Amino acid sequence: MTTIEKEWAERVRAAAAARTPLCLRAGGSKDFYGGPLAGEPFDLRANHGVVAYEPTELVVTVRGATPLAELEAVLADRGQYLAFEPPHFGPGATVGGCVGAGLSGPRRANAGAVRDFMLGVKLLDGRGEVLRFGGQVMKNVAGYDISRLVTGSLGTLGILLEVSLKVLPRPVAEATLRFELDEASALRRVNEWGGQPLPVSATLWQDGVLHLRLSGAEAAVQAACARLGGEALAPGAAQALWTAVREQTLPGFAVEEGSVLWRLSVPSTAPALGLPGRQLVEWGGAQRWLAGAADAQAVRARAVELGGHATAFRAGDRAAGVFQPLAAPLAVVHRRLKQAFDPAGIFNPGRLYPEF
Amino acid sequence: MMLENEVLAFGETEGDFSAVDKARVIEALSRVLPAGTLMYDAEDLRPYECDGLAAYRALPLVVALPSTEEQVVAVLRICHQMGVPVVARGAGTGLSGGALPHTRGVLLSLARFNRIVALDPLARTAVVQPGVRNLAISEAAAPYGLYYAPDPSSQIACSIGGNVSENAGGVHCLKYGLTVHNLLRVRGVTIEGEIVEIGSGALDSPGYDLLALVTGSEGMLVVLTEVTVKLVPKPQLAQCVLATFDDVVRAGDAVAKIIAAGIIPAGLEMMDQPATAAVEEFVRAGYPLDAKAILLCEADGTPEEVAEEVDRVRAVLQESGASEIRVSRDEAERLRFWAGRKAAFPAAGRISPDYYCMDGTIPRKRIGEILTAIQAMEGKYGLRCMNVFHAGDGNLHPLILFDANQPDELERAEAFGAEILELSVALGGTITGEHGVGLEKINQMCAQFTTAEVRQFFRVKAAFDPPGLLNPGKAIPTLNRCAEYGRMKVSKGHVPYPDIPRF
Render B213-278 in DSSP notation, one character per residue: HHTT-TTSS-EEEEEEEE-EEPPSEEEEEEEEES-HHHHHHHHHHHHHTT---SEEEEEEHHHHHH
- Binding-face residues of B in 176-215 toward A, CB within 8 A: 177-178, 180-181, 190, 194-198, 200-210, 212-213, 215
pLDDT tens track for B181-192:
999 999 999 999
pLDDT tens track for B408-420:
999 999 999 999 9
Distance CA A241, CA A247 (A): 10
Kindly tell me if the per-residue pLDDT of B377 is higher than 60.
yes
Q: Which amino acid is residue B425, in one-letter code?
A: V
Kindly tell me if the per-residue pLDDT of B488 is higher than 80.
no
Q: Which amino acid is residue B289, in one-letter code?
A: L
**What is the model's pLDDT at position B503?**
39
Handedness of CA B329, B331, B332, B335 (dihedral sign): positive
Q: Is A170 on the interface with B (CB under 8 A)?
A: yes
Q: What is the CATH number of domain A3-169+332-341?
A: 3.30.465.10
Q: Which chain A residue is nearest to residue B302, measuring alpha carbons?
A: A220
Distance CA B219, CA B470 (A): 7
Kindly tell me if the per-residue pLDDT of B501 is higher than 80.
no
* Cβ–Cβ gap B166/A141 under 8 Å: yes
Helix B248-260 vs helix B303-319: crossing angle, to nearest 10: 130
Distance CA A329, CA B464 (A): 10
Question: Mean per-residue pLDDT for B395-413?
Answer: 93
Q: How far from B379 is each of B291, B373, B401, B412, CA to CA, in Å?
A: 22, 10, 13, 11
How long, in residues, is chain A?
356
- Provide the pairing of β-strand B106-109 with B62-64: parallel
Question: Mean per-residue pLDDT for A91-114?
Answer: 98
pLDDT tens track for A9-54:
999 999 999 999 999 999 999 999 999 999 999 999 999 999 999 9
* Cβ–Cβ gap B457/A145 under 8 Å: no
Q: Which residues of B156-165 are buried (b: 16+ CB within 10 A; e: fewer)?
A: ebbbbbbbbb
Contact B129/B140 with Cβ under 8 angstroms? Answer: no
Reported as half-sphere exposure (CB side, CA atoms, 13 A), residue A199 has a value of 24
pLDDT tens track for A219-231:
999 999 999 999 9
Q: Kindly state the percentage of chain A with pLDDT values over 90.
A: 97
pLDDT tens track for A59-78:
999 999 999 999 999 999 99
Q: Is B216 on the interface with A (CB under 8 A)?
A: yes
Contact B457/A144 with Cβ under 8 angstroms? Answer: yes
Q: In DSSP terms, which residues pair with B297 in a beta bridge?
A: B241, B268
Give A264 to chain B, closest Cα distance, Å: 9
Q: Is A203 on the interface with B (CB under 8 A)?
A: no
Higher pLDDT, A258 or B226: B226
Kindly tell me if the per-residue pLDDT of B322 is higher than 60.
yes
Chosen for mutation from B96, B302, B421 (greatest number of chain A CBs closer than 10 Å) is: B302
Q: Is B448 on the interface with A (CB under 8 A)?
A: yes
pLDDT tens track for B122-162:
999 999 999 999 999 999 999 999 999 999 988 999 999 99
pLDDT tens track for B263-280:
999 999 999 999 999 999
**What is the model's pLDDT at position B500?**
42
Reported as half-sphere exposure (CB side, CA atoms, 13 A), residue B143 has a value of 5
Higher pLDDT, B387 or B488: B387
SS3 state of residue B404 = coil
pLDDT tens track for B82-122:
999 999 999 999 999 999 999 999 999 999 999 999 999 99
Q: Kindly state the percentage of chain A with pLDDT values over 70.
A: 100
pLDDT tens track for A329-356:
999 999 999 999 999 999 999 999 999 9
SS3 state of residue A108 = helix
* Residue-averaged pLDDT of chain B: 92
* Cβ–Cβ gap B437/A146 under 8 Å: no
Q: In DSSP terms, which residues pair with B38 in a beta bridge?
A: B64
Is residue B490 very low, low, confident or very high in pLDDT (cuts 50, 70, 90)? very low
- Provide the pairing of β-strand A231-232 with A40-43: unpaired
Q: Is B453 on the interface with A (CB under 8 A)?
A: yes
Contact B107/B65 with Cβ under 8 angstroms? Answer: no
Window from B193-197, B256-260, B264-268 with minimum mean pLDDT: B256-260
**What is the model's pLDDT at position B8?**
47
* Cβ–Cβ gap A129/B198 under 8 Å: no
Question: Mean per-residue pLDDT for B168-180?
Answer: 92
Is residue A194 very low, low, confident or very high in pLDDT (cuts 50, 70, 90)? very high
- Provide the pairing of β-strand B195-199 with B116-120: unpaired
Distance CA B401, CA B384 (A): 5
With beta carbons under 8 A apart, name residues in chain A contacting B392.
138
**What is the model's pLDDT at position B9?**
52
Contact B202/A308 with Cβ under 8 angstroms? Answer: yes
The string of DSSP codes covering A213-249 is: EEEE-HHHHHHHHHHH-SEEPPHHHHHHHHHHHHTT-
Please, is A216 exposed, middle or buried when counting C-beta atoms within 10 Å of its C-beta (0-12, 13-18, 19+)?
buried
Q: Is B77 on the interface with A (CB under 8 A)?
A: no
Give the residue extent of every domain in chain A. Answer: 3-169+332-341, 172-314
Contact B238/B306 with Cβ under 8 angstroms? Answer: yes
Q: Kindly state the percentage of chain B with pLDDT values over 70.
A: 94
Is residue B6 very low, low, confident or very high in pLDDT (cuts 50, 70, 90)? very low
Is residue B179 very low, low, confident or very high in pLDDT (cuts 50, 70, 90)? very high
**What is the model's pLDDT at position B486?**
67
Contact B291/B245 with Cβ under 8 angstroms? Answer: yes
**What is the model's pLDDT at position A60?**
98
Q: Kindly state the percentage of chain B with pLDDT values over 90.
A: 81
Window from A265-274, B95-104, B314-323, B347-356 with minimum mean pLDDT: B347-356
Q: Which amino acid is residue B317, in one-letter code?
A: L
- Provide the pairing of β-strand A278-282 with A200-206: antiparallel
Distance CA A69, CA A87 (A): 11
Give A11 to chain B, closest Cα distance, Å: 13
Higher pLDDT, B392 or A213: A213
pTM: 0.95
**What is the model's pLDDT at position B1?**
43
Question: Mean per-residue pLDDT for A191-201?
Answer: 96
Q: Which chain A residue is nearest to residue B463, measuring alpha carbons?
A: A336
Report the candidate in A2, A22, A45 with the shortest Cα–Cα distance to residue A125. Answer: A22
With beta carbons under 8 A apart, name residues in chain B contacting A336.
462-464, 466
Kindly tell me if the per-residue pLDDT of A4 is higher than 50.
yes
Residue B252 has φ and ψ, to the nearest 5°, of -60, -40
**What is the model's pLDDT at position A88?**
98
Is residue B487 very low, low, confident or very high in pLDDT (cuts 50, 70, 90)? low
Contact B131/B469 with Cβ under 8 angstroms? Answer: no
- Say if the ipTM goes beyond 0.85: yes
Which DSSP category does B494 fall into? P
SS3 state of residue B160 = helix
SS3 state of residue B451 = helix
Question: Mean per-residue pLDDT for B474-496?
Answer: 70
Distance CA B340, CA B279 (A): 5
Q: How many CB atoms lie within 10 A of CB B40?
A: 18
Distance CA B480, CA B501 (A): 8
